[in-house]
Structure 1
Amino acid sequence: MVQARMPYCNVSAMQNNEGLQTTHNSALINQLSIFICQSIIPILQQHPELIVANYQHINWNEDKYQSALLASLNKKIASLADTSLILANVKQYLGIFLVQSFFDSPDFYNIETRILSLLHHSTLPELNNQANANNLQESKNSKNTFISSAIAILLLDAENLQLNTETEKFLTTICTYPIQIKIAFANWCSMGKLDIELHGRGYDLIHVPSGRDNADGKMITFGSSIHERYPNAKEVLVCSSDKVMTNLCNHLQQNGLTVYRVSKQGINLVIFNSYTGKNITQSIQSLPEISSIEEFILKLKSLIKTEQKHNNTYWIKLYTISQSFKNRYQCTISQVASKLLPGKKARDIFLSYPTEFVVHQVDEVSELYIALFEINPSLLVDANVEALPISVQEPLLSIINSKADLEEVLKNLIKTLTIKSPISYVNVGLLSGKFNQQYGTPITQQLKCLQISGNFLKFLQSCSSFELKQTTKGWEVAVR
C-alpha cells in the first residue's frame, strides 16, 4: 500500500527540499523511506501499546496517514547534510510516536541493521570517504556487541511449577535472546532431590523459609530489580502459575523488558508474550518412547487383541481402544499419531493401514469399529490367496457400474476369504474392510456412487446371492 503511493510522496518531498538532488541520492532516500514505512506501519497497526498516548487515536490503516509518514521521512532524511546522521535522526523522528521500549526490541534492531546495510552499499560520495566508512563500521560493531551481550533470564517458582529438560529446551525457541541466567526459588528442604537436578542443569538456587507464598514473595522481590542487576537483560521468563506474578510482569514490562509469562493449564504449558500479546501452548505431557510407526501399530494391535478377548467380540469401538491406550500409556492415540505422522488423528491411523486394520462404520454418523484381519485364524490371509493357483482364484472386476457388478465383486471376495476355511460365513464388517482394501473405496461410498439407498447390511439382504445370519459377534454373510 505504501509503495503504491510513492510517486505522490516523492513529488511532495522534492518540492519541499530544493537541495535533494545535490545533497543526497534521491533513489536511496526513497528506498530508505519505503523500507522504514513498510517496517513501522505493521507495528503501529498491530501493537497500540507501543504508541505514545497522543498518537494512539490515529488509524494507521488509512492511506493518508501512511502517505504522511512516508513524506515526512523523505523530508527528514533529505534535509540532512551528512548521511552518518540518518540513523540517529530516523530514531529521533520515530521517537515522537513510539515508546522508548520499542527501540530496545529485536524489531528495531532489524530495522537499524537494514538501514546500515542500505547506507553501506550506497554510492553516495559522503560514504566513500574514510571517516564516514569508519563511523559506519563503528556503529555496526557497537550494535553487534550490544546484541551479542543481550540475554534472557528465566525465573522459576519451583514450588509452583516444574520444568523438565524438554520443556526448557522448548522455551529457548520462544526467546529472541539466549537464556543465560536461570534462577529457581523454593524451600529446598521439602523438594527432595530437585535442587540437585536443577543445579546440574545450571540453575542458581535461592532458598526460602518454609511457608506458603514465601517462594512467590522472594521471586517478586528479586525479579523487580532485574533491570538493575542485569542491565543487558532484554527478556524475562516468569515461570509460575500464581496470579500474584501479574504485578511483577507488569513492572518488568514497564521497565522495557519483554516478558514471557509461563504457566500451567491442565496438561499444557501456556506462554504469554507481553510484546506480541499472544499465547503459545505446548503440551508438557511426556509421550511414550514409540520411535516408529511400525512400533505404534504393534502396540495398537496388542491392545485390540486384549479388548477382543476381554469382550469376546471381533469388533472394538474406536472410543474403547482410545481409552485403553490412554490408560496404559498416559497419552492419547492422536498425540502419538501427530508426532509420528504430523496432521494425522486417531481414526486416520486405522484408515491409513488397511492391511493391518479393518474399519467398519454403518453410516457417516455412526461409531467407528475396528478389527484385525487376523482375528479369525481360520480365515485366509492375503499371502495364502496369492499362493493359490491362478485357476482357483476368482477374477476381480476392476470397474463397478451397477448393483449386479457390486454383488459379483462381493461374492468373489467372500469366496477368496473362505476358500481354505471350513467356515463359509464371513463377518459383514470384515467383508466391508476387505472391499475397502481391495478397491480403495469404503463400501458406503460405493453404495452412494451407485445410488443404492440404505446401508451395507440392507444391500446384502436385498441380494439373492447371499445368506445372512446374526450371531453374538455381529452379522455374518455367506454365498448361497
Structure 2
Amino acid sequence: MKCPTCGSTSLRKNGRPNNRQRYRCKDCGRQFMEKFPTSRIGQEISVSKSEPTTLTEAPRTGIAILLLDVENLKIDVNAEQFLASISEYSLQVKMAFANWKNSSLSKYDAELFERGYQLIHVPECKNSADAQMMSMGAAIGRQYSDAKAVFVCSSDWLLTHLCNSLQNQGLTVYRVRRQPDNILSIENRSTLEVKHYSVKMATEIPPLEEFVEQIQQLLQVEHESISRRSSELSIIASLLEKRCEISLVRESKQNLSQVVSEDAEISAAKNIPTELVENEENIQSKMVDLPEINSRAEFEQEVMKIISNIPVKKNQIFVNLNLVDEKFMAIFGEDMGQVLKDLKINNDLENFFKFSPKFRAKKKPRSKEYQVAIAAQNIQTVNSEIIRSPEPAENVPTVNSEIIRSPKELEQALVNIIEVLAAHDPHGYICISIIGTEFKKQYSHSITTILKQLNLSKKLINFLESSNVFNLKKVGKKYKVAIVSQE
C-alpha cells in the first residue's frame, strides 16, 4: 500500500474508525483510509438484454465527506448525527482542519480523534485552514472516487469557491454555517433547501408551517385540559361547601361565577351534560357574606380571640401557628397571610408575629414550624420551657404598633424587638444597627425620628445608657445592647 499523496510505502496504522483501517504516512503526514478491493464477481456476470430492470433497482452507493474548519465552527456528536441524517449517502470520511498546537484546542483534538476525524494540521496564519480545505477539497473527487456528497462546515466566505468547485465535479454540496443563538444553517447548494438545527436544544428547527401546526395541536390539548380541570374544580368546590359548611368569599364569588360561565360555554359547544354547572349555580345561590377585616387592630383582635379559644395542655400557652391559620380561614374564608397582604401590612406571616408587641412567637424544637401566644399574659421561663403563671400580669406595658407617645412605650418596643432577636440567647447582645432596622420595619419610622418627637436625645446610645432596662457595651467600633437580667 502506498501513500496517495507522495507514494511512500513508509506507513503506520492510525486507528480504525467505522471498522476501516486508517494509515498515516511517515514522510508527509497524510492520513488516509484503507480502500476495500472491488469485487470482480459483478464483472464476470453477464446480464442479458431481457433483464435490464435488475440493475436499475439496485440501491445507490457512495459516501459523504465532512470538511470541518475547527477554528471557525465546532460540531458536537448530536449535530454530526443530524448532518449524517440529511444526506442519503453514508458519512464515512471526516476531516478537521486547525492549528493543533493551539492550547485552546488541546482537549478538542482528542475528542475528534476518538470520533474518527482525520486531524489536518495547518500553520498559525490567517485563513490558513481555509486555504488547506480548498486545496484538499478540490482533489476529493480524485482521492475518493466513490464520494457523492460533501459537507463544507465553515462560515468563512472564502469557501464559497470550494463549494462551486465541488459542484462542478458533480458532487452534492451542503454548506454548514453558524447563526446567532447557537443555530446551524445547512443549505443544499443544488436544491437551495435550507434546514436549521439548534445546538442548545439538539433538535431541528421546523419550518414556519410545521411550527404553526404544532402550536395548534398544543393549544388544542391545553384547551381540553383546562376544560377537564374546571369541571374537577367545580366538583371539589361542591364537596368543600357541603363538608365544611362554609362558602366562598368576596373575590371568590366573582371568580367562581366566571368559571361557571366558561363551563357553560364549553358544555354548549361540545354538547356535554351541564349537571356540574347547575350544581355550581345552586351553591352560588346559597352563599352568605362572611365577616370582613378592615384594619390591623381588627385583625389582631380576631387572632387573639382565636388563640384564646384553642385548648392547650396544662402549663402551656403557645399554640401552633398552622392551627391558628386553619381556624382563621374557617371563620373568614381567607388565610391570615392573604388578609395581611390585603391590608398592606406584611406579607410574611411569621415576621408579623415575631415583631408584633401583642404576640409572642417561637420555633418548635427541632422543627421549622412556629408557635404563637398572646403577649399580654405573664410569661416565665422555667427549665427552658414556657409556662403560664396562675394569674395574668396586670402591669405589663404594651406598645401601640403604629404610634409611640412616651419614652416608656419606646423602651418597651425596644425590649420586644430584642427579645425576638435574642430568642435563642435571652441575655445575648444584639447590634444596635440590627435593632434599628427591625424597629423601622415594625413602626415605619426610625428610632431617631421617635426620639426627636419625644424631645429626647437624638442619639439612641444616650437613651439606652439612661435606661436601667438595657446593658450597653462597645465591641470594636460598634455598640451592642442586651436586656438586663432580672434574676
TM-score past 0.5 threshold: no
Structure 1 or 2, whichever has the larger Rg, is: 2
Tell me the TM-score normalized by structure 2.
0.38
Which structure has greater strand proportion? 2
Which structure's residues are more often helix, by fraction? 1
